[in-house]
């Protein structure tokens, strides 16, 4: 199934199902008011939602309408918990090499993860209001999963069975604020503004062979101001999503609707490009001896879209966002 959340003025939005071809949608509020409601009552609503989805694809769903991604919030506008890993070890190793930093202990065997804010996610076409260009504005293209209930101490294998949905993410970062927060030992806070999501969340079966070994086997195409930035492949993820979920649940259970991110998609091959500016800057320092690329400016746009290996558009839709000065939106609020 393919899910979206329509903006309706409420905190959780209105649940909709999106057709397999991405062209049509139907409100599913008669079955579940919102996606978080559906996730929390999954066993009860799964079959009715499947029936509605099949009728939508068959062209017989009453009330179906043309799907407009611009009318969407994040699939989950808020959730119980947002946990982001760093499962592509190439990204971390590049940072260590560029800045001659000591290696993170057990980096190859124990996932790195932080807990982000989950109360105010951004939709796929929402402007991104931020306080200052001096904060080092950066995008980060990722994949993620939404879980059902996860028991404490779950094994990585059993954790994969807890995956309900797969999502595409832009985890915004403010690079100038990160170093101080990391040195405190308390982790990110101001350096991680609201995270954005592509309009459609999908059950793993919708990915077919592109959901394999607990990884999203797709390329994440990233453009900055209309120019190619990179298309790294999700298959190079060193820790699979089962391992990330198990790590998060080692000492606590996770409730339905928790989101676990992969961290920046990163490939060993330089030809793949990057999914965040910080990584490009690091590669420039390593390969050319100096950093040449600056961070984002107000008015800049970033576009992200996952694609199947054959080149076809992925099922998540497009993230297309513009960075704006906070004052530009405060007066209109």
Q: Percent of the chain, pLDDT > 70?
A: 97
Residue 162: pLDDT over 80: yes
Domain with CATH 3.90.850.10 in the chain: 77-330
Q: Identify which of 45, 34, 38 has the alpha carbon closest to the alpha carbon of residue 8.
A: 34
Tens digit of pLDDT for each residue in 277-307? 999 999 999 999 999 999 999 999 999 999 9
Residue 100: pLDDT over 70: no
Q: What pLDDT score was predicted for residue 96?
A: 77
Tens digit of pLDDT for each residue in 166-180? 999 999 999 999 888
Question: How confident is residue 98, by pLDDT bands cut at 50, 70 and 90?
Answer: low
Tens digit of pLDDT for each residue in 303-329? 999 999 999 999 999 999 999 999 754
Cα–Cα–Cα angle for 249, 89, 203, rounded to 5 degrees = 50
DSSP label at 314?
A: E
Torsions phi, psi of 174, nearest 5?
-115, 100
Q: How far apart are CA 258 and CA 81, in angstroms?
A: 5
Tens digit of pLDDT for each residue in 113-146? 999 999 999 999 999 999 999 999 999 999 999 9
To the question of domain 77-330 being in CATH 1.10.275.10, the answer is no
pTM of the model: 0.95
Question: Where does residue 22 fall: left (phi above 0), alpha (psi -120 to 50 degrees), or beta otherwise?
Answer: left
DSSP string, 52-87: HHHHHHHT--TT-EE--GGGB--SSSS-S-EEEE--
- Half-sphere exposure of residue 175, counting CA atoms within 13 Å on the CB side? 16
Q: How far apart are CA 231 and CA 222, in angstroms?
A: 6
């Amino acid at each position: 199934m393919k899910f979206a959340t329509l903006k309706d003025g409420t905190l959780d939005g209105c649940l909709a199902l999106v057709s397999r071809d991405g062209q049509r949608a139907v409100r599913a509020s008669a079955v579940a008011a919102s996606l978080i409601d559906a996730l929390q009552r999954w066993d009860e609503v799964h079959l009715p939602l499947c029936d509605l989805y099949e009728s939508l694809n068959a062209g017989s769903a009453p009330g179906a309408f043309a799907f407009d991604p611009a009318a969407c919030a994040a699939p989950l506008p808020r959730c119980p918990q947002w946990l982001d890993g760093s499962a592509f070890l190439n990204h971390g190793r590049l940072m260590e090499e560029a800045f001659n930093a000591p290696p993170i202990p057990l980096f190859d065997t124990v996932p790195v993860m932080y807990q982000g804010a989950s109360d105010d996610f951004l939709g796929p076409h929402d402007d991104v209001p931020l306080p200052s260009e001096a904060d080092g504005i950066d995008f980060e293209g990722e994949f993620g999963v939404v879980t059902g209930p996860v028991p404490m101490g779950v094994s990585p294998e059993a954790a994969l069975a807890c995956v309900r949905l797969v999502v595409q993410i832009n985890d915004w970062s403010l690079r100038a604020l990160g170093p101080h927060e990391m040195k405190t030992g308390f982790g990110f806070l101001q350096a991680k503004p609201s995270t954005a999501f592509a309009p459609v969340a999908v059950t793993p079966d919708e990915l077919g062979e592109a959901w394999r070994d607990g990884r999203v086997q797709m390329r994440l195409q990233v453009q900055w101001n209309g120019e190619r930035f990179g298309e790294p492949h999700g298959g190079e993820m060193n820790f699979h999503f089962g391992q990330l979920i198990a790590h998060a649940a080692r000492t606590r259970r996770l409730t339905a609707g928790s989101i676990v991110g992969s961290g920046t998609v990163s490939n060993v091959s330089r030809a793949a490009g990057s999914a965040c500016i910080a990584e490009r800057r690091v590669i420039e320092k390593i390969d050319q001896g100096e950093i040449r690329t600056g961070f984002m400016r107000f008015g800049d746009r970033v576009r992200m879209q996952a694609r199947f290996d054959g080149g076809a558009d992925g099922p998540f839709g497009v993230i297309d966002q513009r960075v704006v000065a906070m004052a530009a939106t405060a007066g209109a609020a």
